[in-house]
A and B are shown apart, each in its own frame.
Chain A
Amino acid sequence: SQQGEEDPQALSIQEGENATMNCSYKTSINNLQWYRQNSGRGLVHLILIRSNEREKHSGRLRVTLDTSKKSSSLLITASRAADTASYFCASNTGNQFYFGTGTSLTVIP
């Protein structure tokens, strides 16, 4: 399977804390993307980082990419209860698009 791995599988934090999720993938990529999914809903694109980029910011989101380790991390700063959702990384090889196993984030108000 080309599916990537994410850890932790589940994360529970207090509102205001930072949340870090890690993702590993298996093949060379064009870019890596992070998505958010609320329960029973479709996915919402959060941020895309290209293979020649090492770090990217978008609002409270910070993504890093280490192509030598085939890994990426997503940091959500100053978390809010509304950030509660599942987060998936997706590695884009150009021809295919593979999702990680996901991290379920719960932010406690």
Chain B
Amino acid sequence: GAVVSQHPSWVICKSGTSVKIECRSLDFQATTMFWYRQFPKQSLMLMATSNEGSKATYEQGVEKDKFLINHASLTLSTLTVTSAHPEDSSFYICSAPGVTANYGYTFGSGTRLTVV
């Protein structure tokens, strides 16, 4: 079945640095990738939708200059958290639509970001 590989699984970085998270669709082409953020014991909040070859669409309240999304190919989408701050510490998850209309979305395994 469809697999989305997300890396890294976890990362610790210092305040002010940037962190890149990658999501790759391994056996299918993902023209669209959704990026979510999840705080502890809370639901997933959609941050942005990336589309291959075009600009990402950001949800209201999400700073596009802080969360840079690039979808340069049909199999790779990246999220870069720029100038990270402790409040950016969260669980970030990507997902891509399934290969058929009856198949649910395929999620990456998530990235636990801790900014110290």
Question: Which residues of A approach B to under 8 Å, CB–CB?
Answer: 3, 33, 35, 40-48, 50, 88, 90, 96-102, 104
Contact = CB atoms under 8 A, between A and B. Distances in A.
The interface residues of chain A, by DSSP majority, are classed as strand
Given A42-B6, A42-B107, A42-B109, A88 B93 contact: no
The interface residues of chain B, by DSSP majority, are classed as strand
**Residue in B43, B46, B105 whose Cβ sees the most chain A Cβ within 10 Å:** B43
B102 A100 contact: no
Contacts of B98: 45
B102 A43 contact: no
A88 B49 CA distance: 20
Interface string B101-116: 0111111111010000
Contacts of A98: 46
